[in-house]
A and B are shown apart, each in its own frame.
Chain A
Amino acid sequence: MKSISILATTMLLLVGIASAQPTGSATGSAADTGSAAPAAGSAATAPAAVDPVPAAPTSGAIDLRKTCVDAMNSDPTFAASIVETADQAAQKKRDADTLKAHTDADAQIKENSRHVVISYAAMWIIAALFVLFLWRRQQLLKTEIANLRRDLEAAAK
Protein backbone atom coordinates (compact mmCIF):
# COMPACT_ATOMS: atom_id res chain seq x y z
CA MET A 1 0.00 0.00 0.00
CA LYS A 2 2.86 2.31 0.86
CA SER A 3 4.57 1.58 -2.45
CA ILE A 4 1.41 2.49 -4.33
CA SER A 5 1.25 5.78 -2.50
CA ILE A 6 4.95 6.41 -3.27
CA LEU A 7 4.35 5.65 -6.93
CA ALA A 8 1.33 7.90 -7.09
CA THR A 9 3.15 10.73 -5.36
CA THR A 10 6.16 10.30 -7.65
CA MET A 11 3.89 10.60 -10.65
CA LEU A 12 2.37 13.71 -9.17
CA LEU A 13 5.80 15.12 -8.48
CA LEU A 14 7.04 14.47 -12.00
CA VAL A 15 3.88 15.93 -13.54
CA GLY A 16 4.22 18.92 -11.26
CA ILE A 17 7.86 19.50 -12.13
CA ALA A 18 7.17 18.98 -15.81
CA SER A 19 4.36 21.50 -15.85
CA ALA A 20 6.42 23.99 -13.86
CA GLN A 21 9.33 23.81 -16.35
CA PRO A 22 9.44 26.42 -19.08
CA THR A 23 9.84 25.02 -22.59
CA GLY A 24 13.49 24.26 -23.42
CA SER A 25 14.76 24.83 -19.90
CA ALA A 26 17.48 22.69 -18.39
CA THR A 27 16.10 19.59 -16.78
CA GLY A 28 17.20 17.88 -13.64
CA SER A 29 19.85 20.39 -12.73
CA ALA A 30 19.85 19.36 -9.08
CA ALA A 31 20.16 15.73 -9.99
CA ASP A 32 22.92 16.46 -12.51
CA THR A 33 25.07 18.00 -9.87
CA GLY A 34 24.45 15.02 -7.64
CA SER A 35 22.94 17.16 -4.92
CA ALA A 36 21.45 15.41 -1.95
CA ALA A 37 17.81 15.33 -0.90
CA PRO A 38 16.35 18.63 0.17
CA ALA A 39 16.50 19.06 3.88
CA ALA A 40 13.24 19.08 5.78
CA GLY A 41 11.92 22.58 6.11
CA SER A 42 13.75 23.84 3.05
CA ALA A 43 10.89 23.06 0.72
CA ALA A 44 10.33 26.69 -0.07
CA THR A 45 13.79 26.99 -1.61
CA ALA A 46 13.77 23.63 -3.43
CA PRO A 47 12.01 24.78 -6.61
CA ALA A 48 14.55 27.58 -7.08
CA ALA A 49 17.37 24.98 -6.97
CA VAL A 50 15.64 22.86 -9.62
CA ASP A 51 15.01 25.72 -12.00
CA PRO A 52 16.80 28.99 -11.44
CA VAL A 53 14.57 30.86 -13.91
CA PRO A 54 11.16 29.28 -13.57
CA ALA A 55 8.31 30.31 -15.76
CA ALA A 56 5.23 31.55 -13.99
CA PRO A 57 3.60 28.27 -12.91
CA THR A 58 -0.07 27.70 -13.32
CA SER A 59 -2.17 27.33 -10.19
CA GLY A 60 -2.63 23.59 -10.90
CA ALA A 61 1.10 23.09 -11.13
CA ILE A 62 1.63 25.01 -7.90
CA ASP A 63 -0.84 22.74 -6.16
CA LEU A 64 0.81 19.61 -7.49
CA ARG A 65 4.25 20.80 -6.54
CA LYS A 66 3.07 21.70 -3.07
CA THR A 67 1.56 18.24 -2.66
CA CYS A 68 4.81 16.63 -3.67
CA VAL A 69 6.97 18.84 -1.48
CA ASP A 70 4.71 18.18 1.47
CA ALA A 71 4.93 14.45 0.84
CA MET A 72 8.71 14.61 0.63
CA ASN A 73 9.00 16.71 3.77
CA SER A 74 6.75 14.43 5.73
CA ASP A 75 8.60 11.26 4.71
CA PRO A 76 12.42 11.51 4.43
CA THR A 77 12.60 7.96 3.00
CA PHE A 78 10.28 8.96 0.21
CA ALA A 79 12.31 12.11 -0.43
CA ALA A 80 15.47 10.04 -0.59
CA SER A 81 13.88 7.64 -3.05
CA ILE A 82 12.81 10.53 -5.28
CA VAL A 83 16.33 11.97 -5.28
CA GLU A 84 17.81 8.52 -5.90
CA THR A 85 15.55 8.05 -8.91
CA ALA A 86 16.58 11.44 -10.25
CA ASP A 87 20.25 10.67 -9.61
CA GLN A 88 19.95 7.37 -11.43
CA ALA A 89 18.40 9.09 -14.42
CA ALA A 90 21.17 11.70 -14.40
CA GLN A 91 23.82 8.98 -14.11
CA LYS A 92 22.33 7.18 -17.11
CA LYS A 93 22.50 10.39 -19.10
CA ARG A 94 26.11 10.98 -18.03
CA ASP A 95 27.01 7.40 -18.98
CA ALA A 96 25.36 7.83 -22.35
CA ASP A 97 27.24 11.11 -22.92
CA THR A 98 30.55 9.50 -21.93
CA LEU A 99 29.93 6.52 -24.17
CA LYS A 100 29.05 8.81 -27.06
CA ALA A 101 32.20 10.88 -26.50
CA HIS A 102 34.33 7.73 -26.52
CA THR A 103 32.55 6.33 -29.56
CA ASP A 104 33.04 9.61 -31.40
CA ALA A 105 36.73 9.72 -30.47
CA ASP A 106 37.15 6.11 -31.52
CA ALA A 107 35.50 6.77 -34.87
CA GLN A 108 37.59 9.91 -35.29
CA ILE A 109 40.82 7.96 -34.74
CA LYS A 110 39.73 5.10 -36.96
CA GLU A 111 38.42 7.14 -39.84
CA ASN A 112 40.47 10.30 -39.57
CA SER A 113 41.96 11.19 -42.92
CA ARG A 114 43.77 14.34 -41.75
CA HIS A 115 47.06 12.60 -41.02
CA VAL A 116 46.90 10.66 -44.27
CA VAL A 117 46.42 13.92 -46.18
CA ILE A 118 49.29 15.61 -44.29
CA SER A 119 51.53 12.65 -44.94
CA TYR A 120 50.81 12.53 -48.67
CA ALA A 121 51.13 16.28 -48.99
CA ALA A 122 54.56 16.14 -47.32
CA MET A 123 55.63 13.36 -49.68
CA TRP A 124 54.66 15.34 -52.79
CA ILE A 125 56.09 18.60 -51.51
CA ILE A 126 59.48 16.98 -50.83
CA ALA A 127 59.44 15.27 -54.23
CA ALA A 128 58.47 18.51 -55.98
CA LEU A 129 61.20 20.47 -54.19
CA PHE A 130 63.81 17.88 -55.15
CA VAL A 131 62.71 17.86 -58.80
CA LEU A 132 62.71 21.66 -58.83
CA PHE A 133 66.20 21.67 -57.33
CA LEU A 134 67.44 19.20 -59.99
CA TRP A 135 65.78 21.04 -62.87
CA ARG A 136 67.07 24.43 -61.79
CA ARG A 137 70.59 23.16 -61.34
CA GLN A 138 70.47 21.51 -64.78
CA GLN A 139 69.25 24.72 -66.42
CA LEU A 140 71.98 26.79 -64.78
CA LEU A 141 74.63 24.29 -65.84
CA LYS A 142 73.36 24.23 -69.43
CA THR A 143 73.41 28.01 -69.64
CA GLU A 144 76.86 28.26 -68.10
CA ILE A 145 78.30 25.54 -70.33
CA ALA A 146 76.82 27.18 -73.43
CA ASN A 147 78.28 30.58 -72.49
CA LEU A 148 81.68 29.11 -71.72
CA ARG A 149 81.76 27.16 -74.98
CA ARG A 150 80.90 30.28 -76.91
CA ASP A 151 83.66 32.24 -75.18
CA LEU A 152 86.19 29.49 -75.75
CA GLU A 153 85.28 29.19 -79.43
CA ALA A 154 85.58 32.94 -79.82
CA ALA A 155 88.99 32.88 -78.10
CA ALA A 156 90.16 29.99 -80.27
CA LYS A 157 89.35 31.99 -83.42
Chain B
Amino acid sequence: MNKLVVPVFGVLAAVGIAVAVWLVFMQAPLQYGFHPDGALNGSSLFYNQKIFYFHVAHAFMLFAAVFVSGVCSIAFLKTRKPKWDDVAMAATEVAVAFGAVVLVTGSVWAKAAWDVWWNWEPRLTMSLLLWLVLLGYVLVRRFAGPSADRIAAGMAIFGMVGVPFIYKMVGQDSHPAAGREGVVATLGPGMRAAFWISVAAFLCWFVALVVARVQSARAERELRELRERGLDLGVLS
Protein backbone atom coordinates (compact mmCIF):
# COMPACT_ATOMS: atom_id res chain seq x y z
CA MET B 1 0.00 0.00 0.00
CA ASN B 2 1.28 3.41 -0.92
CA LYS B 3 2.72 5.11 2.13
CA LEU B 4 1.64 8.49 0.84
CA VAL B 5 -2.06 7.73 1.19
CA VAL B 6 -2.25 8.49 4.90
CA PRO B 7 -0.33 11.80 4.81
CA VAL B 8 -2.11 12.98 1.67
CA PHE B 9 -5.55 12.26 3.04
CA GLY B 10 -4.52 13.56 6.44
CA VAL B 11 -3.50 16.90 4.93
CA LEU B 12 -6.66 17.04 2.82
CA ALA B 13 -8.70 16.37 5.94
CA ALA B 14 -6.87 19.05 7.95
CA VAL B 15 -7.37 21.67 5.23
CA GLY B 16 -10.96 20.61 4.68
CA ILE B 17 -11.80 20.73 8.39
CA ALA B 18 -10.18 24.16 8.73
CA VAL B 19 -12.26 25.46 5.81
CA ALA B 20 -15.37 23.79 7.21
CA VAL B 21 -14.86 25.37 10.64
CA TRP B 22 -14.44 28.79 9.02
CA LEU B 23 -17.57 28.32 6.93
CA VAL B 24 -19.61 26.97 9.83
CA PHE B 25 -18.75 29.72 12.28
CA MET B 26 -18.20 32.67 9.96
CA GLN B 27 -20.43 32.12 6.95
CA ALA B 28 -23.27 29.71 7.57
CA PRO B 29 -26.45 31.56 8.57
CA LEU B 30 -28.61 30.63 11.53
CA GLN B 31 -31.73 30.50 9.40
CA TYR B 32 -33.60 27.81 7.58
CA GLY B 33 -36.46 27.49 5.13
CA PHE B 34 -35.47 28.99 1.82
CA HIS B 35 -37.41 29.40 -1.38
CA PRO B 36 -35.67 28.07 -4.50
CA ASP B 37 -34.70 31.66 -5.36
CA GLY B 38 -32.81 31.94 -2.06
CA ALA B 39 -35.34 34.05 -0.17
CA LEU B 40 -35.79 33.21 3.49
CA ASN B 41 -39.06 31.49 4.28
CA GLY B 42 -38.39 30.11 7.72
CA SER B 43 -37.17 31.33 11.04
CA SER B 44 -34.00 31.76 13.03
CA LEU B 45 -32.10 28.83 14.48
CA PHE B 46 -30.35 28.63 17.81
CA TYR B 47 -26.57 28.84 17.98
CA ASN B 48 -26.34 25.19 19.00
CA GLN B 49 -27.35 24.33 15.43
CA LYS B 50 -23.60 24.69 14.65
CA ILE B 51 -23.20 21.18 16.10
CA PHE B 52 -25.20 19.88 13.14
CA TYR B 53 -22.34 20.26 10.64
CA PHE B 54 -20.05 17.86 12.48
CA HIS B 55 -22.59 15.65 14.18
CA VAL B 56 -24.30 14.68 10.92
CA ALA B 57 -21.00 14.46 9.02
CA HIS B 58 -19.74 12.00 11.63
CA ALA B 59 -23.00 10.05 11.38
CA PHE B 60 -22.48 9.78 7.60
CA MET B 61 -18.95 8.52 8.18
CA LEU B 62 -20.22 6.06 10.77
CA PHE B 63 -22.64 4.66 8.22
CA ALA B 64 -19.90 4.56 5.58
CA ALA B 65 -17.53 2.75 7.95
CA VAL B 66 -20.17 0.19 8.92
CA PHE B 67 -21.01 -0.36 5.25
CA VAL B 68 -17.33 -0.85 4.33
CA SER B 69 -16.92 -3.19 7.27
CA GLY B 70 -19.97 -5.22 6.30
CA VAL B 71 -19.05 -5.53 2.63
CA CYS B 72 -15.44 -6.47 3.42
CA SER B 73 -16.66 -9.00 5.97
CA ILE B 74 -18.86 -10.64 3.33
CA ALA B 75 -15.86 -10.70 0.97
CA PHE B 76 -13.72 -12.19 3.71
CA LEU B 77 -16.22 -14.92 4.57
CA LYS B 78 -16.50 -15.77 0.91
CA THR B 79 -12.81 -15.67 -0.08
CA ARG B 80 -11.05 -16.03 3.31
CA LYS B 81 -8.45 -13.59 2.09
CA PRO B 82 -6.94 -11.70 5.04
CA LYS B 83 -6.83 -8.37 3.19
CA TRP B 84 -10.63 -8.12 3.44
CA ASP B 85 -10.50 -8.92 7.11
CA ASP B 86 -7.89 -6.21 7.67
CA VAL B 87 -10.06 -3.58 6.00
CA ALA B 88 -13.17 -4.75 7.86
CA MET B 89 -11.40 -4.56 11.20
CA ALA B 90 -9.92 -1.14 10.42
CA ALA B 91 -13.28 0.24 9.29
CA THR B 92 -15.01 -1.11 12.38
CA GLU B 93 -12.52 0.40 14.80
CA VAL B 94 -12.85 3.74 13.00
CA ALA B 95 -16.62 3.31 13.16
CA VAL B 96 -16.41 2.92 16.93
CA ALA B 97 -14.58 6.25 17.16
CA PHE B 98 -16.98 8.03 14.80
CA GLY B 99 -19.94 6.45 16.58
CA ALA B 100 -18.67 7.73 19.92
CA VAL B 101 -18.48 11.24 18.45
CA VAL B 102 -22.02 10.93 17.05
CA LEU B 103 -23.44 9.78 20.38
CA VAL B 104 -21.60 12.36 22.48
CA THR B 105 -22.24 15.36 20.21
CA GLY B 106 -25.83 14.24 19.74
CA SER B 107 -26.34 14.02 23.47
CA VAL B 108 -24.87 17.46 24.07
CA TRP B 109 -26.98 18.89 21.26
CA ALA B 110 -30.08 17.23 22.71
CA LYS B 111 -29.36 18.88 26.05
CA ALA B 112 -28.99 22.26 24.36
CA ALA B 113 -32.02 21.94 22.11
CA TRP B 114 -34.45 19.65 23.94
CA ASP B 115 -33.12 20.02 27.49
CA VAL B 116 -32.53 16.29 27.85
CA TRP B 117 -29.25 14.41 27.56
CA TRP B 118 -30.90 11.31 26.16
CA ASN B 119 -34.27 9.82 25.37
CA TRP B 120 -35.09 6.32 24.27
CA GLU B 121 -36.64 7.14 20.96
CA PRO B 122 -36.11 4.65 18.11
CA ARG B 123 -33.28 6.35 16.26
CA LEU B 124 -31.19 7.04 19.34
CA THR B 125 -31.75 3.56 20.70
CA MET B 126 -30.86 1.94 17.37
CA SER B 127 -27.74 4.11 17.07
CA LEU B 128 -26.64 3.07 20.54
CA LEU B 129 -27.28 -0.59 19.71
CA LEU B 130 -25.27 -0.26 16.50
CA TRP B 131 -22.39 1.26 18.44
CA LEU B 132 -22.57 -1.57 20.99
CA VAL B 133 -22.48 -4.12 18.16
CA LEU B 134 -19.35 -2.42 16.81
CA LEU B 135 -17.84 -2.41 20.27
CA GLY B 136 -18.72 -6.10 20.51
CA TYR B 137 -16.86 -6.66 17.23
CA VAL B 138 -13.71 -5.11 18.69
CA LEU B 139 -14.01 -7.13 21.87
CA VAL B 140 -14.55 -10.35 19.91
CA ARG B 141 -11.43 -9.61 17.85
CA ARG B 142 -9.51 -9.08 21.03
CA PHE B 143 -10.72 -12.01 23.13
CA ALA B 144 -12.49 -14.66 21.03
CA GLY B 145 -9.41 -16.63 20.00
CA PRO B 146 -8.70 -18.33 16.65
CA SER B 147 -12.22 -18.07 15.19
CA ALA B 148 -12.57 -14.41 16.17
CA ASP B 149 -12.29 -13.17 12.58
CA ARG B 150 -15.30 -15.15 11.39
CA ILE B 151 -17.48 -14.38 14.40
CA ALA B 152 -16.58 -10.71 14.06
CA ALA B 153 -17.37 -10.78 10.34
CA GLY B 154 -20.85 -12.01 11.16
CA MET B 155 -21.30 -9.19 13.65
CA ALA B 156 -20.15 -6.64 11.08
CA ILE B 157 -22.76 -7.89 8.60
CA PHE B 158 -25.40 -7.72 11.32
CA GLY B 159 -24.37 -4.11 12.03
CA MET B 160 -24.51 -3.18 8.35
CA VAL B 161 -28.04 -4.50 8.00
CA GLY B 162 -29.14 -2.18 10.82
CA VAL B 163 -27.89 1.03 9.18
CA PRO B 164 -30.77 1.56 6.70
CA PHE B 165 -33.23 1.18 9.55
CA ILE B 166 -31.51 3.90 11.53
CA TYR B 167 -31.45 6.19 8.50
CA LYS B 168 -35.09 5.64 7.65
CA MET B 169 -36.30 5.60 11.24
CA VAL B 170 -37.10 9.27 11.27
CA GLY B 171 -40.18 11.39 11.36
CA GLN B 172 -41.38 9.24 14.24
CA ASP B 173 -39.13 10.94 16.77
CA SER B 174 -37.56 14.26 17.70
CA HIS B 175 -35.01 14.07 14.90
CA PRO B 176 -35.76 16.06 11.78
CA ALA B 177 -36.68 14.12 8.67
CA ALA B 178 -34.15 12.54 6.33
CA GLY B 179 -34.35 11.77 2.64
CA ARG B 180 -35.41 13.99 -0.23
CA GLU B 181 -37.57 16.23 1.92
CA GLY B 182 -35.18 16.09 4.85
CA VAL B 183 -32.99 18.71 6.46
CA VAL B 184 -29.82 17.86 4.55
CA ALA B 185 -31.54 17.89 1.17
CA THR B 186 -33.21 21.24 1.83
CA LEU B 187 -30.32 23.15 3.36
CA GLY B 188 -30.07 26.82 2.46
CA PRO B 189 -27.29 28.08 0.18
CA GLY B 190 -24.96 29.25 2.96
CA MET B 191 -25.39 26.05 4.93
CA ARG B 192 -25.05 23.62 2.06
CA ALA B 193 -21.42 24.46 1.27
CA ALA B 194 -20.39 24.35 4.93
CA PHE B 195 -22.08 20.99 5.42
CA TRP B 196 -20.80 19.22 2.31
CA ILE B 197 -17.25 20.52 2.76
CA SER B 198 -17.44 19.21 6.30
CA VAL B 199 -18.60 15.82 5.00
CA ALA B 200 -15.81 15.76 2.40
CA ALA B 201 -13.20 16.68 5.01
CA PHE B 202 -14.34 13.95 7.36
CA LEU B 203 -14.42 11.49 4.48
CA CYS B 204 -10.72 12.24 3.92
CA TRP B 205 -10.16 11.85 7.65
CA PHE B 206 -12.01 8.53 7.58
CA VAL B 207 -9.90 7.24 4.66
CA ALA B 208 -6.66 8.31 6.37
CA LEU B 209 -7.64 6.55 9.60
CA VAL B 210 -8.78 3.36 7.88
CA VAL B 211 -5.63 3.14 5.77
CA ALA B 212 -3.45 3.80 8.82
CA ARG B 213 -5.28 1.08 10.73
CA VAL B 214 -4.96 -1.34 7.79
CA GLN B 215 -1.21 -0.74 7.78
CA SER B 216 -1.21 -1.48 11.48
CA ALA B 217 -3.19 -4.69 10.91
CA ARG B 218 -0.68 -5.77 8.29
CA ALA B 219 2.14 -5.10 10.68
CA GLU B 220 0.35 -7.30 13.25
CA ARG B 221 0.06 -10.05 10.67
CA GLU B 222 3.75 -9.72 9.83
CA LEU B 223 4.60 -9.92 13.51
CA ARG B 224 2.57 -13.12 13.89
CA GLU B 225 4.40 -14.67 10.93
CA LEU B 226 7.77 -13.65 12.35
CA ARG B 227 6.84 -15.21 15.69
CA GLU B 228 5.91 -18.45 13.96
CA ARG B 229 9.29 -18.43 12.19
CA GLY B 230 10.97 -17.69 15.48
CA LEU B 231 9.21 -20.67 17.06
CA ASP B 232 10.21 -22.87 14.14
CA LEU B 233 13.84 -21.76 14.46
CA GLY B 234 13.79 -22.12 18.21
CA VAL B 235 14.53 -18.42 18.78
CA LEU B 236 11.29 -18.03 20.68
CA SER B 237 9.98 -20.44 23.20
Interface size of A by Cβ–Cβ distance < 8 Å? Answer: 30
Residue of B nearest to A142 (CB): B219
Establish whether residues A115 and B48, one from each chain, have CB atoms under 8 Å apart when the complex forms.
yes
A75 to B204, CA, bound (A): 85
Min C-beta distance of B216 to chain A, whole Å:
5
Residue of B nearest to A154 (CB): B235
Establish whether residues B223 and A141, one from each chain, have CB atoms under 8 Å apart when the complex forms.
yes
Establish whether residues B46 and A109, one from each chain, have CB atoms under 8 Å apart when the complex forms.
yes
Establish whether residues A126 and B100, one from each chain, have CB atoms under 8 Å apart when the complex forms.
yes
Min C-beta distance of A154 to chain B, whole Å:
8
Contacts of B219 in A (CB 8 A): 138, 141-142, 145
B139 interface hit (Cβ, 8 Å)? no
- What 1/0 flags go to A127-150 for Cβ under 8 Å of B? 100110010011001101100110
Establish whether residues B230 and A134, one from each chain, have CB atoms under 8 Å apart when the complex forms.
no
Contacts of A138 in B (CB 8 A): 212, 215-216, 219
B80 interface hit (Cβ, 8 Å)? no
Min C-beta distance of A47 to chain B, whole Å:
47
Contacts of B213 in A (CB 8 A): 134
- Taking Cβ atoms with an 8 Å cutoff, the residues of B that contact A are 44, 46-48, 50-51, 54-55, 58, 94, 97, 100-101, 104-105, 108-109, 111-112, 205, 209, 212-213, 215-216, 219-220, 222-223, 226-227, 229-230, 233-236
